[in-house]
Chain A
Amino acid sequence: MANDQDKILDEVTSGDYKYGFVTDIETDTIPKGLSEDVVRLISSKKEEPEWMLEFRLKAYRHWLTMEMPQWAHLNVPEIDYQEIIFYAAPRKKNPNSSEEIDPELKETFEKLGIPLNEQKILAGVAVDAVMDSSSVKTTFSETLSEHGIIFCSMSEAIRNHPDLIKKYLASVVPYTDNFFATLNCAVFSDGSFCYIPKGVRCPMELSTYFRINAANTGQFERTLIVAEEDSYVSYLEGCTAPMRDENQLHAAVVEIVALDNAEVKYSTVQNWYPGDKNGKGGIYNFVTKRGICRGKNSKISWTQVETGSAITWKYPSCILLGDNSYGEFYSVAVTNNHQQADTGTKMIHIGKNTRSRIVSKGISAGVSNNSYRGLVKVLKGSENARNFSQCDSLLLGDKCGAHTFPYIEVDNPTAIVEHEATTSKIGEDQIFYCNQRGLSTEDAVGLIINGYAKEVLNKLPMEFAVEAQKLLQISLEGSVG
């Protein structure tokens, strides 16, 4: 008991990235570099149908005409795409025993707190575990299928549900969308697919856990969630990577489609390796996430807790097409040491009486840079659109930066768009007050930032809120006092 407590305490106070280990496993990798042949090779490794290969090639050819966007408030070193390995998959020890997962992999995910054994798993959470370029195991698939819910890896979905994939893949984020999304279309390796049929409330949380393991590889996964009329699903995404001195690229795409009266909650706890204290290593996280409220009264809610990555470039957005549809974005983004984040959202109001709410809480420490970038756009035909945005920044120390770039474009006079912003510092007097009540400075900072981020943390499912709270505190270790 005492031992257990010591362990927890140690974990909370040690401040090191505790997911930084490497699994020693045989990996099936392809040579580094990017070309049409590589795209074809990935497609054949995945045993994909011809139409999928065509999609990839179309995207790849388009990508060659594109340039990396420069508008973000980020300092991104040049990325050499010929130095990246675009496909790495854990190799099965025994290819004949088809079902069984490699014990090493099982162990890896257990170490990460994600048991792949259905008996041991957190009650009420189904997991798709993805390591490097491929899905390792999806739990509870059978239970879910009794409700008609499809929850499987993207590779499986392409093989088994081609009609759904053809209909919805790239329907929210087209292959021409942006540099990183287009790259993803060409080389994506795996990810999760989730389909909730009409009238079904998904009985458990669905989650995907992404793990980068292999060195010098990029991770390019795709997630697609389709919620049919009157359905509901809550989806969680977690991610970690080993500590490596080289930077690694992660360029994912997430698409959500919500039809009439459907509701999708998407929560992310992003904890990719942020690099060391001097800014060496860490993940470059360039992610495109977008949902469309296609049906009337539909709702999409993004919640993100961003603590990891050396560079984050990410704007989970909502296209509010259906009348009375509702989009939400709740975000806590922490940057410490040399981390850089440029993150925010877009709310595109198209339908009538559409509403959106943005709550962004930035926390910067060390010599990091943390930007909120948001767009609220109300189109001509969108009568009575409503938006409320709250963007707060909290600074720890005086060498870090916090920036807000809120863009508002309103083409309909009936719209009401409100924006509030604050910037504050953790006061020495607040910390002393906590010290005087017996709390250490680290605990005081943890308490204060969790108070500051409460509105966002409250949006997360319970188990994850607790994790996220600990994570916030750990990522700010050593930044005060």
Chain B
Amino acid sequence: MLKIKDLHANIKGKEILRGINLEIKAGEVHAIMGPNGSGKSTLAAVLAGREIFEVTHGEVTFNDKNLLELSPEDRSREGLFLGFQYPIEIPGVSMVNFMKAAVNEQRKHRGLEQLSPADFLKMMREKKELVEIDSALTNRSVNEGFSGGEKKKNEIFQMAMLDPKLSILDETDSGLDIDALRIVANGVNKLKTANNASIVITHYQRLLDYIVPDHVHILYNGRIVKSAGKELALELEEKGYDWIKNGE
């Protein structure tokens, strides 16, 4: 589904990603861990097409398309979803309008009819139940005045609405209370199928008790320095990152 080959990216002339290689197949869950500032969010942003990062080298294919050639909106329409580490507020724009526009753009891209208002509201209702998000939130403006945890839940709700092929969740677990963590993880698990995949960026093993990854990668200094099964997360929890850093 996703193939990253020797990906390098800069911001303001400073190299942040320094040769990333990663392959993700349908049905898989990959966890990416790594110390602060190692480039996890940068990798997510580069995959989503954020222009402030400049790709200087490497290739990324997404379902056999050259991902790097697509505009950010086309990447989204092709089924790539990014759950933001810091979701953005858009004052005055209702969640309903925002989601209606997003869902219909995606349907247009796939050659489907626009949803009728009634069908759309039905879909909203179903997805809200699936990810157990409060109606009070989806009746407000996009993320405006949401608490940190509410913003994260809202990302999962949007993911449910857009039903992506590949979702990249950037620290969706941080700032969540225990119940919210379980709800978010359940949401992700419920949305999982044999045809989609996810990348879960996290600092905590705790999340991986709920969302069990097939692979765990450690990103350090712009490179994936270690990949293994889910036991790697446990090992990190125990030993911290020093052994990784020293190994370099």
Interface residues of A (CB under 8 A from B): 427-430, 432-441, 443, 447-448, 450-455
Which A residues are CB-close (under 8 A) to B52?
Answer: 428
- Give the distance in Å from the alpha carbon of A436 to the alpha carbon of B88 in the complex: 11
Q: A443-B101, A447-B101 are in contact. Are A438 and B90 (CB under 8 A)?
A: no
Q: Which residues of A contact B48 (CB under 8 A)?
A: 432, 436
Known A-B contacts A438-B105, A447-B97, A447-B98; the reply to A454 vs B73 at CB < 8 A is no
Q: Chain B residues near A440: list those with CB within 8 A.
A: 71, 73, 105
B102 contacts A437, CB within 8 Å?
yes
Check if A454 sits within 8 Å of B92, measured CB to CB. yes
B30-78 residues with Cβ-Cβ distance < 8 A to A are: 48-52, 71-73, 75-77
Task: Please give, as numbers and ranges, the residues of chain A lying within 8 Å of B90 by CB-CB distance.
Answer: 430, 433-434, 447-448, 451
In the complex, whether B91 has a CB less than 8 A from a CB of chain A is yes
The yes or no answer to B106 lying at the interface (CB within 8 A) is yes
Interface of chain B residues 93 through 141 with chain A (CB within 8 A): 93-94, 97-98, 101-102, 105-106, 109, 141
Q: Contact: A438 with B106, CB < 8 Å?
A: yes
CB distance from B78 to the nearest CB of A (A): 9
B70 → chain A closest CB, angstroms = 11
Contacts of B221 in A (CB 8 A): none
Give bound CA distance, A429 to B101, whole Å.
18
Task: For residue A191, give the distance in angstroms from its CB to the closest CB of chain B.
Answer: 35
Across chains A and B, which 7 residue pairs bring their CB atoms closest together, nearest first? A451-B92, A451-B93, A435-B72, A438-B105, A437-B102, A433-B88, A438-B76
Asked if A439 meets B49 with Cβ closer than 8 Å, knowing A448-B93, A452-B92, the reply is no
**Chain A residue at smallest Cβ distance from B76:** A438
Determine whether B84 belongs to the interface, using a CB cutoff of 8 Å to chain A: yes
Q: Which residue of B lies closest to A426 (CB)?
A: B90
Q: Which residues of B contact A452 (CB under 8 A)?
A: 91-92
Can you sample 14 A-B contacts with CB below 8 Å?
Answer: A435-B71, A436-B72, A436-B73, A436-B82, A437-B101, A437-B158, A438-B73, A438-B109, A441-B73, A443-B101, A447-B93, A447-B97, A451-B92, A454-B92
Contacts of B29 in A (CB 8 A): none
- Chain B residues closer than 8 Å to A455, beta-carbon distance: 92
- B residues at A contact (CB < 8 Å): 48-52, 71-73, 75-77, 81-82, 84, 87-94, 97-98, 101-102, 105-106, 109, 141, 158, 162
Most buried by B among A438, A441, A452: A438
Chain A residues near B75: list those with CB within 8 A. Answer: 436
From residue A9, how far is it (CB to closest CB) to chain B in Å? 9
A440 to B73, CA, bound (A): 6
**Chain A residues near B72 (CB-CB < 8 A):** 432, 435-436
Instruction: Verify B76–A436 contact, CB threshold 8 A.
Output: yes
Residue pair A451, B76 in contact (C-beta under 8 Å): no
In whole angstroms, what is the CA distance A441 to B49 when docked? 13
| B88 engages A438 (CB within 8 Å) | no
Closest to A481 in B: B51
Tell me the bound Cα distance from A440 to B70 in angstroms: 12
- Which of A430, A443, A447, A453 is close to B88, meaning CB atoms less than 8 Å apart? A430
Q: How far is the CA of A455 from the CA of B91 in the complex (A)?
A: 11
Residues of A within 8 A of B73 (CB): 435-436, 438-441
Chain B residue nearest in CB terms to A454: B92
Complex CA–CA separation, A452 to B144 (angstroms): 12
Q: How far is the CB of B117 from chain A (nearest CB, A)?
A: 14
Residues in chain B near residue A454, CB distance under 8 A:
92
